[in-house]
Chain A
Amino acid sequence: MSEALVASQAAGTDVSVPAASGARQFWRRLRAQRAALVAAAVVALLVLVALAAPLLTAIEGQDPFTYHPSLIDSARGGVPTGSFGGITGDHWLGVEPQTGRDLFARLVYGARVSLGVALGATVVQVLIGVVVGVAAALGSRWVDQLLSRLTEIIVAMPLMIMSLALLAIVPSSFPRPLLVALVIGLIAWGNTAKIVRAQTLTLKQLDYVSAARLSGWGTWRIARRELLPGLAAPVITYAALLVPMNITVEAALSFLGVGVKPPTPSWGQMLTAADVWYQAAPQYLLLPAGALFVTVLSLTVLGDGIRTALDPRAASRLRIGTGRKGEAKADASTKGASGKDAGTKGDVRTEGATTKSTNSKEATS
């Protein structure tokens, strides 16, 4: 991502940083987007399913590891007996070919790995990105040079190839899901750092930061009290888009056999085992593929919705027509409810960054 683009995104964002009623306004804007709401519901459901995996499989009466040789036709390569991949009251989504392991159990336990690894990796990426980005923006010229070049090297590194290499050399005694999350997190934090640095540079120029500096605040205190709140919006937005990306990376790594190790189920691993079965047992391939598709799609839509809610101007530039009416209504109702801003949307724009950013500080501190 070019710095100019990052800067413009950041500049666009800070205009919209929520006011005193920011959080409420954010929710209203988010709620106005039906797609984002549906996506949020789906994501919530997926998280719930992942968290409740042991409970759900207990209700089904299965677990993801037990072999059921009686449910597969050994003479025919181990294809599940019965129709639709062996779907019965005991096995809600059928069983896995060659082993007879319960597919529902493997799918919901796989959700834990997919979501857990992706979230873990995102946390690592955001932490490193924010620290490096803020340090680069606030540090001396040398520190900035050093950290910015480092960030560029990290951005230039091919994620898949680096992960393959790293995962291949770490001993298998290291907990695998944690390792995968760490590896993805440690390799793919570059863009977060760039966005944070650009946003920090913009914020640094603002009057309230200068005021803080003049009143003798140290760099650390300024970073914590004045800058971090202003960074929240772009970071949350970017993090929301990182999660689905990390899910696909985890799936790809497991698909290639270096991700999570068997017998721990993961969607990527199920895909790799299932790819040859697409004709003989299609549901075996369709289940993890569908789960992955729904998860990534809903997370992406949700991420997009969060961005729109935090930055309605950027959204209105991107999407002309659809959805705008809803957003406008949401904005209007916010104004009505808060009663503070009597101005039009145009006014919001012209008011500029100062007020908003200051407000954001107040809102968070």
Chain B
Amino acid sequence: MRQPSVIARRVAVASVSLAVAAGAAACGPKDNDAKGSGGDSTPHKGGTLTVLNSNPQEDFDPARLYTSGGGNVPSLVFRTLTTRNRENGAAGAKVVPDLATDTGRPNKDATVWTYTLKKGLKYEDGTAITSADIKYGIERSFAPELSGGAPYLRDWLVGAADYQGPYKDKKGLSAIETPDSRTIVFHLNKPEGEFPYLATQTQFTPVPQGKDTGTKYEQHPISSGPYKVVSNQNDGETLVLERNKYWSTATDSERKAYPDKIDVKSGLDSSVINQRLSSSQGADATAVTTDTNLGPAELAKVTGDKELAARVGTGHFGYTNYIAFNPTVAPFNNVKVRQAISYAVDRSSVVNAAGGSSLAEAATTFLPNQKSFGYDPYDLFPAGASGNAAKAKELLKEAGYPKGITVTLTHSNDKDFETSPEIATAIQDALKKAGITVKLQGLEINDYKDKIHSVKTEPGFFLAHWGADWPSGGPFLAPIFDGRQIVKDGANFNTGLLNDKSVNAEIDAINKLTNLDEAAKRWGALDKKIGEQALTVPLFHPVYKRLVGKDIKNVVISDWTGVLDISQVAVK
């Protein structure tokens, strides 16, 4: 069982992974990467890359980071057992070896995973990286003072549920074995075919025990990647990274590391970042952002300018915005009412409210529209582009509401174009045509999160969203639809309160699969099956558009993060 506090952090994944983990989106996968840079488009080594961000990198301890695929800036310093494939589009949603020689060797039922480290791996001080250091790095992430990472390790490792970290418990975790300095073995309490995805997170970074300074470690974490931290000021507001001379492309085929120096400046307003990137003056010509998208109004301006439009990168991150129902609240206990709303929704006006067709794609599936998630393009309650009011009215009549109904839609007052009033009013307008009068209940963002994630206060009809910890159906469907993950006291994410034996059994069966392609197909089929219950109305999948400075080269955007991969960028 997940601990409430741990689960609460999961909420952060959705939004944080865009900012922290993911990077900046720049030139799209299908676009030519090198436009705006003039003649020579081949990337070269050297120069300084500037990163303009709004959120400071407050956590820089590998134990505390909650990332998808190891993060963007953190991934320059921290290498992990496996990592995300640094390629454009769908190929980038694959998991590939990093410190390890392969993505992991499972036993028959995927409860034991064995990794072997590559030869010649070194830290920034020239000492060798050992498997014991990876074990230690994972153990310290269990220390209460270094909490913040994803909850999976605590859930999956044998005997880890109450482990308090190496500072209090010197014996360490018996679930992780290191028979020799290059081998590490993980014992899980249940089959988890997706363990290689988990091994991309920064908790799998080696930390030499002798250099561990506890909570101060983030000031100068020992680098295993191409760059080391030279300075970290104001809790991650300004970071300077320079080359780690002991890192070598011989053991790392993923990170390109073209620039000599990385200058991260954060705490900037998002409109300032976009303005600076578009004017590209001085050092801003070789600047990118790893956390700031173009908003609808900025996009309208940028698309009118050819030079700027060529510098916009497009990316897709596994993420779904949807309407959630609580089937214990009337009238949503009636499946016909839920179906009626599914039919009545006008996805084109919702997409417009979210920023238009360039920033959002209409969704009819709960899983993101990507192959790695096992996307099966079903549309169980076809509403067309602008809603099927007639069918909705018919269903309402069958449900016993021939004169229509009045319902309350709960949303947040945040200006995020996700659960915000703009989306809520678009839905209100669409449902009106089907005889459904929607009253809006706007809540302050923290109040809203508390209410929707508590079984006791959960409203009947509200806006929600979910993002993936890694590009697969597992972390997308299990927390939302696995009946055993309903938390009665504390943060609950199974908002549809679904506890269906066949769904639970299928989740367990898929977790046993170590063939990830086969697993993806099964997740897609399961998504469709769950969709029949109309517990959610998928609305849209966001699209990320980001600007890069005019001298930026080699922009790579994977479907894993949906944003530009900073380890691939060149400035010369």
Contacts and interface: CB of A to CB of B under 8 A. Distances in A.
A97 B413 contact: no
B442 A72 contact: no
Interface residues of A, number: 31
Nearest to B270: A276
Interface stretch (B85-93, B421-429, B464-472): B421-429
B20 to A, nearest CB: 24
Contact of B355 (A78, A263, A280): A78
B256 to A, nearest CB: 32
Contacts of A276: 271, 295-298
Contacts of A76: 299-300, 303-304, 356, 358
Interface in A236-277: 257-258, 261-263, 273, 276-277
A279 interface: yes
Given A74-B356, A77-B295, A78-B355, A279 B425 contact: no
A67 interface: yes
Contact of A69 (B349, B413, B422, B441): B349
A262 B296 contact: no
Nearest to A276: B297
Interface in B121-167: none
Contact of B358 (A77, A258, A263, A273): A77
Contact of B413 (A67, A77, A257, A281): A257
Interface in B347-376: 348-349, 351-353, 355-359
Interface string A72-103: 11111111000000000000000001111000
B421 A262 contact: yes
A168 B346 CA distance: 30
A172 interface: yes
A277 B422 CA distance: 15
B415 interface: yes
B297 A280 contact: yes
B300 A99 contact: no
A67 to B, nearest CB: 5
Given A97-B296, A281-B297, A75 B357 contact: yes
B415 A257 contact: yes
A67 B429 contact: yes
B440 interface: yes
A97 B346 CA distance: 17
A263 B413 contact: no
A66 interface: yes
Interface string A44-77: 0000000000000000000001110100111111
Interface in B379-433: 386, 413, 415, 421-422, 424-426, 428-430
A65 B429 contact: yes
Contact of B296 (A69, A98, A279): A98
B356 A78 contact: yes
Contacts of A277: 297, 300
A280 B304 CA distance: 9
Contacts of A78: 296, 300, 352, 355-356
B295, B304, B349: most-surrounded residue (chain A CB, <10 A): B349
B358 A98 contact: no
Contacts of A69: 348-349, 352, 386
A124 B208 CA distance: 69
A273 B420 CA distance: 12
Interface in A196-232: none
A135 to B, nearest CB: 38
Nearest to A78: B356
B301 interface: yes
Contacts of B444: 168
A69, A73, A74, A100: most-surrounded residue (chain B CB, <10 A): A74
Contact of A75 (B356, B386, B442): B356
Given A69-B349, A99-B349, A257-B415, A77 B297 contact: yes
A77 B299 contact: yes
A106 B356 CA distance: 21
B352 A261 contact: no
B356, B421, B443: most-surrounded residue (chain A CB, <10 A): B356
A280 B300 contact: yes
B352 A263 contact: no
B300, B303, B304, B440: most-surrounded residue (chain A CB, <10 A): B300
Contact of B301 (A72, A98, A100, A279): A279
B519 to A, nearest CB: 35
Nearest to B429: A67
A100, A258, A276, A279: most-surrounded residue (chain B CB, <10 A): A276
A67, A73, A75: most-surrounded residue (chain B CB, <10 A): A67
Contact of A281 (B300, B348, B443): B300
Given A67-B426, A69-B349, A99-B352, A77 B421 contact: no
A273 B353 CA distance: 12
A103 to B, nearest CB: 15
B440 A77 contact: no
Contact of A279 (B297, B351, B353): B297
Interface string B324-357: 0000000000000000000000101101110111
A67 B348 CA distance: 11
A99 B359 contact: no
Contacts of B304: 76, 280
Contact of B421 (A72, A98, A100, A261): A261
Contacts of B298: 77, 276, 280
B218 to A, nearest CB: 34
A273 B426 CA distance: 15
Contacts of B415: 257
Contact of B351 (A74, A261, A278): A74
Please name the 10 residue pairs, one residue from A and one from B, whose CB atoms are nearest each other, closest first. A77-B296, A280-B300, A79-B300, A77-B299, A77-B300, A74-B357, A276-B297, A74-B356, A78-B356, A277-B297
9 contacts: A75-B303, A76-B299, A76-B300, A76-B356, A97-B296, A99-B425, A172-B440, A262-B424, A263-B429
Given A74-B356, A77-B299, A279-B301, 14 more contacts: A67-B429, A67-B430, A74-B351, A76-B303, A77-B295, A78-B352, A78-B356, A79-B296, A98-B296, A172-B441, A172-B442, A261-B421, A263-B425, A263-B428
